[in-house]
Amino acid sequence: MRFFSFHLMPYPDLPADYDGPAWVTCPNEFYDPQVGHDVYNRYLDELIYAEEVGFDGVCVNEHHQNAYGNMPSPNLIASILARQTSRVRIAVVGNALPLYDPPTRVAEEFAMIDVISGGRLIAGMVVGGGPEYYSFSINPADARERFQEAHDLILKAWTEPGPFEFIGKHFRIRYVNPWPRPMQQPHPEIWIPGAGSLETVEFVARNHYAYMGIPYFHLSVFERMFRMFREACEAEGYEADPLQQGWLVPIYVAETDEQARREYEDHLWYFVKRLLPGITIQPPGYTSVRSLGNILKSSGSFMLNLETWEQVVDGQYAIVGSPETVTDMLIDNLGRLGTGNLLGLFQLGTLPHDLTKKNLALFAEQVMPKLRAEFPEGQPVIRPSAAGQVA
């Protein structure tokens, strides 16, 4: 099992009387640069701290024009981490390829991070969330095509000698010849986040990449998602490696179950009720007919619809409790999902710095070793007995 600390870099200070969406149209007059200065630096400290306490990697990601996650350029944050950490993998999960024109920009910046960090980059590539298509006015009906073409171009730029000419439908570059080239050869490990769209699952399986389940769903949705992924790998003629699968989930560890809920609950609700609204906006033409049914099926169990703490616990939307409780829940859930990468959100919503650090330290000291022992690398994570096979 590999352990990653994922940070969204949320804006913690939306006005109390604002109840609109946190995405696309959330007025940017609410953004106070002084608050931004404080939290950027604080959040970077939290990512660096994850290395100190023993995590295997850190994760950052890309979102635009929103209060949920203030990393319009995750590559900027990753490049700081490349210098300020020395051991952890740096997973950028990911760059929204259709938004980069030309996409060789991604090949260049990822290679820079990989070279500066000494080969520690994990290159995430993503179609991009619905809100980004409203924020960029990139045609969502072209999203999949642009993603595919950009991906092909980036991989070719990394693996074939330049200069060469690339003539696609959406991108045309006469001279592809990026400097620098990535340090990891033939190219950095590639992660693709997905929310259960069949096209994405099949694409990841076909290319032997790793599939990262987009979070905030009921555990049953992830069970279905990763089962689908393993089946797609089987259809490609191989057995999925646990390291090809990653589950992202909010985690909070405190001394006791009661203390954990007491310290955490308000911050979780800020996240659910203030930062999630607007994230589900669906741009037209972005989803295939094949995937529409799956996505509609999952939408009812999205975290945004939660009202009570009992629902959070029932659906395992966040793993909260004492070290023992969190360990037990994670052993059970990871056994159901079969994922060899655990991506924890250890800071969520308004969770303050001291509690975030305590959370990271307790998890690293008291949970991580037990999970490493339970799920040794190179061995299957899936536990057929746990994985609701009956249903």
Partner 1 sequence: MPALAEEYVETDVGKVQIFRGGDGPPLVYLHSAAGEAVNPAAETLADSFSVVSPVFPGFGESEGLEQIDDMEDATFHHLDLFDRLGLDAVPIVGLSFGGWMAAELATRYPERVSKLVLVNPVGLYIDGQSVKEIFGRTPAELAEDMFADQSHPMAQMMHMLSEFSGDVGQQIEVPMELVLPIWKSMSATAKLGWDPYLHNPKLRRRLHRVTAPTLVIHGAQDTLAPKVISETYAAEIPEARLVDVDGGAHLVTLEKPDEIAQLVREFVA
- Contact positions toward partner 1, by CB under 8 A? 130, 133-134, 137-142, 218, 220, 281-285, 289, 292-293, 296-301, 305-307, 311, 314-315
Question: How many C-beta neighbours within 10 Å does residue 251 have?
Answer: 25
CB of 139 to partner 1, least distance (A): 4
Report the nearest approach of partner 1 to the CB of residue 314 (Å): 7
Would you say 30 or 302 has its CB closer to partner 1? 302
Report the residue number, 25 or 73, with the smaller CB distance to partner 1: 25
Q: Are 7 and 46 in contact (CB under 8 A)?
A: yes
Q: Tell me the C-alpha to C-alpha distance, in Å, between residue 133 and each of 51, 96, 109.
A: 34, 10, 22
* Closer to partner 1 by Cβ: residue 93 or 214: 214
CA distance 376 to 75: 31
Q: For partner 1, which is the closer residue by CB, 224 or 372?
A: 224
Least distance in Å: CB of 285 to partner 1?
4
Q: Which neighbouring-strand residues pair with 126?
A: 96
Give the shortest CB-332-to-partner 1 separation in angstroms.
Answer: 17
Nearer Cβ to partner 1 (299/366): 299
Q: Judged by CB, which is closer to partner 1: 5, or 298? A: 298
Q: From the CB of 257, what's the least distance to partner 1, in Å? A: 22
Least distance in Å: CB of 130 to partner 1? 8
Nearest to partner 1 of 65, 139 (CB atom):
139
Closest distance between partner 1 and the C-beta of residue 388, in Å?
A: 14
Tokens in use for 260?
A: 């954990």
